[in-house]
A and B are shown apart, each in its own frame.
Chain A
């Protein structure tokens, strides 16, 4: 066995010089401290992304975009194709878990201030990947062309349309016309399977290269707390990552089988909107806040105010490495921590409120 491995390794090395990579892997280490558990969520997000890619490709074999074919093709997939139901269920659950894992990863990086120099670009690329994951979710939600997705997309694109100045063209661009219809479905399909994956791959490559190059960030003050320990990246960290991936796979399988994703009723653009139209859970807090805002705040419309608020808050969040000077200096910036906790509580509160109401 060992001789085969040596022979194979020799065969490759005669053609490609892998000594640098080998060297890098052998000497790469991961900090070991009380916050180490959060390091794994990036890996979990990556694992779920891989599941998304595989299950998505399998769905593509049967999915037929179009207002007259999308719903029918998914129904065919779920009823007639061997394990088709499982693929769709896995894809849907994995998408939701991926957003959840990405959110946990983002907040853990934020709260441990791992975005500070020299990891500003890693943070920004990660944030862009996160936004892109939400865009994946939004575009993918419409693809089965069922009633709930149709009206949720209608509401979602309406909200995008109320952004001052650029709202209307953005809405037209997303919908491919004045209303949600077959053109919207074609566009969302294009975004979901071509445009977004292409951008995502580039950003993910940058993000992973930077993570590998810069290594994991140690929390501020870890040295003073005597936590300057580390573990080898390979095999220790990789095997632990694999262990968690297997646990996530198990959870995913249980969710997909016990709670299969329902297909619902086919979208009818001429039917009245059913009661209880809700966006995906990760947009629910924004949707709920926009609903609760008064018609006018000062001189601007409540909805426009809300969108501008989320836009500015999101931008500040993305740019945190550039304005959090204290953390850059290695000081523990409590204001940033409290702000992060407030944001988490705020999002959780309005998500639950949106769900309950």
Chain B
């Protein structure tokens, strides 16, 4: 038996040797060889997400992974390309990452089409394959130690991505080469924001650069396809801020987007596509996003509503609101759900705002002033509406009313200005704006009434003239008959 053992071993070895040989042939010789050289790329590749997915060096660099002969393994005839340069880097990644079918077959469930998105992004000089890319995939993800984006070691992980982006975007010398007008203080501002402070404290759920700007489809904010374009910002912010589960740990409401959409600002921006209407970032800031403080609200609103803010600051309400710790504009107008200002705000019922603080027995001077202002506004609005109705009536009758309609525009202008003047909360100042408007509206109404009366006058005048002419025709007819009868008799 002892004699047979070496023989049997030799037999088994003989039978298995080819398999052993074949196995030795399929082993990744790139890794083996480069690891033996102790080089950095092969060391980094050990923890690369691609290696765990079964990819080899040759999948990116080409060549023959099975050969341990460098001449064969790194032979150009075997497709060896060496280190890809320029766009070839992104194209190498894109071979797989832009091929959704291939990625799904490999069991990848995440986003695909990154190269296509990169080409269309601000990090590319154009969308064609021949256009140079400013950024290659490796600039952000690394080359050989690529990790999942939620891996804390990944340079694009929530806690590291801000530093990664700012390595270029906070460098004025570097950014000047591409866009000298672009600010480079994003990181500094971000660190002052609620997002930035929490991110700095290790919170991975708060917004970072890629959450708002996207990972690969980054476009300048002024372009409508950008996720941070004014028209898209409410949706971008709302993606997190309307998510009750996501916001739960922070204890903040999630109704902002819905309220904004129903507001005068939201309707102007999202329904009327008025680019001058404010989006989230216009009040909260963008990289330095934070809720405005109580005392700074009028400054924030005042960036657009400058006159209103100026009058408010000089008014008695400013002093009182500050004393009571009430947010300035927000106390009367609300915040995300700001509704169009109407004279109903002066009422003392559920729709009114003055009644919150004023009443016949509570701060009565303000109560009386509000009542008087309401009465004056009602008078102006009512007169304008009546004049418009009468102008329309006259126009439908074919009367020329362009002049009256034109004049009425000044009354409407006064109505709009009165909305500003009201922020002085001073009856005398309010009258200076409103009274001329009321005079114009009254004159326009009177002119419109005159036009309607003129229409009646014309009809009556026509009836009289037609009657006279018809009578003359009849008389003439009989006169002709009379003459011709006489002529026939002769």
**A interface residues with partner B (beta carbon < 8 Å):** 75, 78-80, 85-86, 232, 235-236, 239-240, 242-243, 246-247, 249-250, 253-254, 257-260, 262-263
Contacts and interface: CB of A to CB of B under 8 A. Distances in A.
> By DSSP majority rule, is chain B's interface helix, strand, loop, or mixed?
helix
Nearest to B461: A257
Contact of B462 (A240, A243, A254): A254
A253 B465 contact: yes
Contacts of A235: 483
B224 interface: no
Interface stretch (B10-18, B91-99, B189-197, B398-406): B398-406
B459 interface: yes
B480 A243 contact: yes
Contacts of A232: 487
B413 interface: no
A239 B473 contact: no
B466 interface: yes
Nearest to B480: A239
A86 B399 CA distance: 11
B398 A236 contact: no
Contacts of B469: 246, 249-250, 253
A236 B487 CA distance: 10
Nearest to B463: A257
Nearest to A243: B476
Contacts of A259: 398
Interface string B475-490: 0110110011001000
Contact of A246 (B400, B458, B472): B472
Given A236-B484, A253-B462, A257-B458, A263 B400 contact: yes
A242 B483 CA distance: 15
B459 A236 contact: no
User: Which size class do B's interface residues fall under?
Assistant: 20 to 34
B255 interface: no
Interface string B391-430: 0000000111111000000000000000000000000000
Query: Which of A75, A85, A250 is most buried by chain B, counting CB atoms within 10 A of its CB?
Result: A250
Contact of B480 (A85, A86, A240, A262): A240
Query: Which of A85, A259, A263 is most buried by chain B, counting CB atoms within 10 A of its CB?
Result: A85
Interface of B: 398-403, 458-459, 461-462, 465-466, 469-470, 472-473, 476-477, 479-480, 483-484, 487
A152 B458 CA distance: 31
Contacts of A258: 462
Given A243-B476, A246-B476, A247-B473, A254 B466 contact: yes
A305 B484 CA distance: 55
A250 B471 CA distance: 11
Contacts of B458: 86, 257
Nearest to A76: B403
Query: Which of B403, B465, B473 is most buried by chain A, counting CB atoms within 10 A of its CB?
Result: B473
A247 B400 CA distance: 28
A246 B479 CA distance: 14
A85 to B, nearest CB: 7
A80 B399 CA distance: 12
Query: Which of B400, B466, B483 is most buried by chain A, counting CB atoms within 10 A of its CB?
Result: B400
A246 B398 CA distance: 26
Contacts of A263: 400, 402
Given A246-B473, A258-B462, A262-B398, 11 more contacts: A78-B400, A85-B400, A86-B458, A232-B487, A239-B476, A240-B480, A242-B476, A246-B476, A250-B470, A257-B461, A257-B462
3 A-B pairs with least C-beta separation: A257-B462, A78-B400, A250-B469
A253 B403 CA distance: 25
B479 A239 contact: yes
A250 B466 contact: yes
A260 B398 contact: yes
Contacts of B459: 257
B264 to A, nearest CB: 31
Contacts of B479: 239
11 contacts: A78-B400, A86-B458, A236-B487, A239-B476, A243-B480, A246-B476, A250-B469, A253-B462, A257-B458, A257-B462, A263-B402
Contacts of A236: 480, 483-484, 487
A257 B454 CA distance: 11
A75 B476 CA distance: 39
Contacts of A249: 469
Nearest to A80: B403
A75 B466 contact: no
B126 to A, nearest CB: 34
A253 B480 CA distance: 24
B454 to A, nearest CB: 9
A81 to B, nearest CB: 11
Nearest to A86: B458
Nearest to A242: B476
Nearest to B459: A257
B402 A75 contact: yes
A250 B484 contact: no
Nearest to B400: A78
B473 A243 contact: yes
Query: Which of A232, A246, A247, A259 is most buried by chain B, counting CB atoms within 10 A of its CB?
Result: A246
Contact of B400 (A75, A239, A250, A257): A75
Contacts of A79: 400-403
A75 B403 contact: yes
A260 B480 CA distance: 34
B225 to A, nearest CB: 29
A247 B470 CA distance: 8
Nearest to A75: B402
Contacts of B401: 79
A243 B477 contact: yes
Contacts of A247: 473
A75 B403 CA distance: 8
A253 B459 CA distance: 11
Nearest to B470: A250
B403 A239 contact: no
Contacts of B483: 235-236, 239
Nearest to A261: B398
Query: Which of B459, B462, B477 is most buried by chain A, counting CB atoms within 10 A of its CB?
Result: B462
Nearest to A266: B402
Contacts of A239: 476, 479-480, 483
